[in-house]
């Protein structure tokens, strides 16, 4: 049977660096981000109000400064200086600037809190969602890709919310305030200043539209690179042993070039916005200066008003430039947010039963009834599977690669749900139970060992919350790993590195066995439990396992058939079906499928002995 399970290793997004990928719905992504703001609308509205007030006081300053300029000009031309009035005006200007800065400080404080809280909520939603996603989804993504979405993409959104959001609000309020002030000063001069706005908006929209796809692809390829790096360095010994370094470097170089091609295009196009806005603003500035001189000569405007108007025009250009720059970073943030929402929109595991059943005293009777299952639609890997296992029996499952052995365990643990039929424990369909309750019934020792960054005691005690040191030691003794641990620096308090590279594979396997022992579950699952230990250790473990399995229903998956000779039932699987069932002696006597498997492993050994 071909294994139809989706590969854990992907080649990244199928996007050429020619960037033909269609941009997604940024408007919908933006609206979804705003929903997070609604949860903090009180603080957000206060921050926005402070931004508005800070901006309004800043907008008032040029008008007040213009009054000072007019007083000085009148003093120079008439020889009569109104110093008291100038001092009062300058003090007022100082107060206006001070109040503006105080409101700005309050806004920065509140927005920092609002942004941090929103990113906290997004991370919480991501974590909750990932815990609800089926194993099918996780099997189809590389670890680095998921890590990129949870870290890099969230950080991109965080940076934009922290800086660009308030800048845009402040710039919009500044534009509105300045527009009002320059109209009040002189309508005709204000029309020249306004003339550059349509040009700036049109050119900016064209550039934003052109750069959007590059920002999207940039985030996609960064995720693909993270996945590639995580795979290559996690499996570095395998990469080296198969002389795959050149191919790995070539893959990295290819992804790196695609990131480069998209990044420089995105940054170049977004970088055009600021100088373009400055150029258009300068055109307006020159036009305003010329017309201001014309009106001043005709006595239709005061010198201080010209000075204030020119300062407003200069300030008018600044928010346009800021909005243009913010639009570039907003593109990257929305592209990152889309990737986050893609995870949040993924289909979750099927809903739990409305009235779940909880088994209080598990006996360990397990039955498979007409079970059918496929990883991909139309490509079944398990079909019409039937099995009755009585409490306390040891069931060994053997078969070639892809025969469905590990799939059966995934179905037992409800990592996947069956397509048809049912799996029952003590007569209760496991779909009528909570997934956590189902998984709490089993203790597992997997083929791929998993240890976290912590002490050896913490790793063993992971199998039972609140386990004492003595319980940990007893479990280690049963797993024949106690003596090894005593030889280590700090014994049970020795910290295991993140990839557990400071202990051997066999020792890691023994620690995971001790973890299963301390859990004392009603049903055991041993998936290649002794595949990574030497022959002497294997014998010791088998003795300990037999003692631990006594009275417990146990499922053992093994390619080394010597480990399952004493099993009560041996299931020989092929193409998702039970082709033979019985004890070791019975199946050997049948001289069938199991007999062939057994001889393929041990014929040479028996001939030698």
Average pLDDT over the chain, rounded to whole?
Answer: 78
Are the C-beta atoms of residues 519 and 463 closer than 8 Å to each other? yes
Residue 423 has pLDDT above 60, yes or no: yes
Rounded-to-integer distance, Cα 274 and Cα 328, Å:
10
Using a 10 angstrom Cβ sphere, with 0-12 exposed, 13-18 middle and 19 or more buried, the burial of residue 403 is buried
Q: Whole-angstrom Cα distance, residue 258 to residue 180? A: 47
Q: Which has more pLDDT, 72 or 360?
A: 360
The 10s digit of each residue's pLDDT in 164-220 is 777 787 788 888 888 888 788 778 877 877 777 777 777 777 777 777 778 778 877
Question: What pLDDT shows up at residue 498?
Answer: 58
Least confident window among 276-280, 352-356, 375-379: 276-280
Checking if the pLDDT of 114 tops 70, the result is yes
Instruction: Give which of 34, 51, 173 is closest to 110, Cα–Cα.
Output: 51
Q: Which of 1-5, 272-276, 359-363 has the lowest mean pLDDT?
A: 1-5
478 vs 429, residue with greater confidence: 429
pLDDT at 275: 77
pTM (predicted TM-score):
0.62
Domains contained in the chain, CATH given: 27-344 (1.20.1560.10), 366-608 (3.40.50.300)
Q: Specify the range with the lowest mean pLDDT, choosing from 362-371, 471-480, 494-503, 517-526.
A: 494-503
CA-CA-CA-CA torsion sign (226, 231, 235, 238): negative
Of the chain, the percentage scoring pLDDT greater than 70 comes to 84
The predicted structure's pLDDT at residue 236: 58
DSSP states along 223-260: HHHHHHHHHHHHTHHHHHHTT-HHHHHHHHHHHHHHHH
**SS3 state of residue 9:** coil
**Confidence at 98, pLDDT banded by 50, 70, 90:** very high
pLDDT at residue 17 tops 60 = no
In the β-sheet with 442-445, what is the strand arrangement from edge to edge?
442-445, 523-527, 553-557, 394-398, 569-574, 577-582
Terminal Cα-to-Cα distance of the chain (whole angstroms)? 34
**Which own/partner contact pairs does 234-240 have at CB distance under 8 Å and 24+ positions apart?**
234/143, 234/499
pLDDT category at 425 given cuts 50, 70, 90 is very high
φ, ψ dihedrals at 340, nearest 5°: -65, -45
Residue 238 scores a pLDDT above 70: no
pLDDT tens across 361-390, in order?
888 899 999 988 888 887 888 888 888 999
C-alpha to C-alpha distance for 368 and 413, rounded to whole angstroms: 13
Q: With 70 as the cut, is the pLDDT of residue 18 above it?
A: no
- More confident: 498 or 474: 474
Residue 422: pLDDT band (50, 70, 90) is very high
Q: CB within 8 A of 446, min separation 6: which ones?
A: 512, 527, 528
């Amino acid at each position: 049977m071909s294994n139809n399970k989706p590969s854990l290793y992907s080649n990244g997004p199928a996007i050429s660096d020619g960037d033909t990928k269609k941009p997604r719905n940024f408007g919908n992504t933006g609206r979804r981000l705003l929903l997070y703001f609604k949860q903090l609308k009180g603080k957000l509205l206060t921050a926005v109000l402070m931004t508005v007030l800070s901006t309004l006081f800043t907008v008032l300053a040029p008008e007040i400064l213009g009054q000072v300029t007019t007083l000085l000009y009148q003093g120079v031309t008439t020889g009569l200086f109104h110093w008291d009035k100038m001092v009062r005006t300058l003090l007022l200007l100082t107060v206006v600037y001070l109040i503006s800065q105080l409101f700005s400080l309050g806004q920065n404080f509140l927005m920092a809190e609002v942004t941090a809280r929103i990113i906290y909520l997004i991370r919480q939603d991501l974590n909750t969602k990932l815990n609800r996603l089926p194993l099918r989804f996780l099997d189809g993504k590389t670890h680095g890709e998921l890590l990129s979405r949870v870290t890099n993409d969230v950080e991109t959104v965080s940076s934009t919310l922290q800086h660009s959001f308030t800048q845009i609000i402040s710039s919009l309020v500044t534009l509105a305030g300045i527009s009002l002030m320059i109209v009040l000063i002189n309508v005709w001069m204000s029309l020249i200043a306004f003339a550059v706005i349509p040009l700036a908006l049109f050119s900016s929209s064209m550039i934003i539209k052109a750069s959007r796809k590059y920002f999207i692809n940039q985030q996609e390829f960064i995720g693909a690179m993270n996945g590639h790096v995580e795979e290559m360095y996690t499996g570095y010994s395998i990469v080296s042993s198969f002389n795959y370094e050149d191919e790995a470097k070539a893959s990295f170089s290819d992804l790196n070039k695609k990131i480069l091609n998209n990044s420089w295009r995105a940054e170049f196009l977004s970088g055009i916005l600021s100088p373009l806005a400055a150029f258009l603003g300068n055109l307006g500035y020159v036009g305003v200066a010329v017309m201001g001189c014309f009106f001043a000569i005709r006595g239709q405007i005061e010198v201080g008003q010209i000075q204030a108007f020119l300062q407003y025009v200069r300030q008018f250009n600044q928010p346009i430039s800021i909005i243009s720059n913010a639009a570039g970073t907003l593109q990257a943030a929305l592209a990152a947010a889309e990737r986050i929402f893609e995870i949040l929109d993924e289909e979750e595991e099927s809903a739990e039963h409305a009235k779940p059943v909880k088994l209080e005293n598990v006996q360990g009777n397990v039955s498979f009834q007409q079970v059918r299952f496929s990883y991909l639609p139309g490509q079944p890997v398990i079909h019409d599977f039937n099995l009755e296992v009585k409490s306390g029996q040891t069931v060994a499952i053997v078969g070639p690669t892809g025969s469905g052995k590990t799939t059966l365990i995934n179905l037992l643990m409800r990592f996947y749900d069956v397509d048809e039929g049912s799996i029952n424990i003590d007569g209760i369909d496991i779909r009528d139970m909570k997934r956590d309750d189902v998984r709490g019934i089993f203790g597992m020792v997997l083929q791929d060992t998993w240890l976290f960054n912590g002490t050896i005691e913490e790793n063993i005690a992971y199998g039972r919350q609140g386990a004492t040191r003595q319980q940990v030691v007893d479990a280690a003794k049963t797993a024949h790993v106690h003596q090894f641990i005593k030889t280590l620096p700090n014994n049970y308090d020795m910290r295991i590195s993140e990839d557990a590279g400071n202990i051997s594979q066999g020792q890691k396997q023994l620690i995971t066995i001790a973890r299963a022992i301390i859990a004392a579950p009603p049903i055991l699952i041993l998936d290649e439990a002794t595949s990574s230990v030497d022959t002497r250790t294997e014998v010791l473990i088998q003795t300990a396992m037999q003692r631990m399995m006594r009275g417990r229903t146990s499922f053992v998956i093994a390619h080394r058939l010597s480990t399952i000779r004493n099993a009560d039932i041996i299931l020989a699987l092929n193409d998702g079906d039970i082709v033979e069932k019985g004890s070791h002696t019975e199946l050997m006597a049948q001289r069938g499928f199991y007999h062939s498997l057994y001889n393929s492993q041990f014929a040479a050994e028996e001939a030698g002995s």
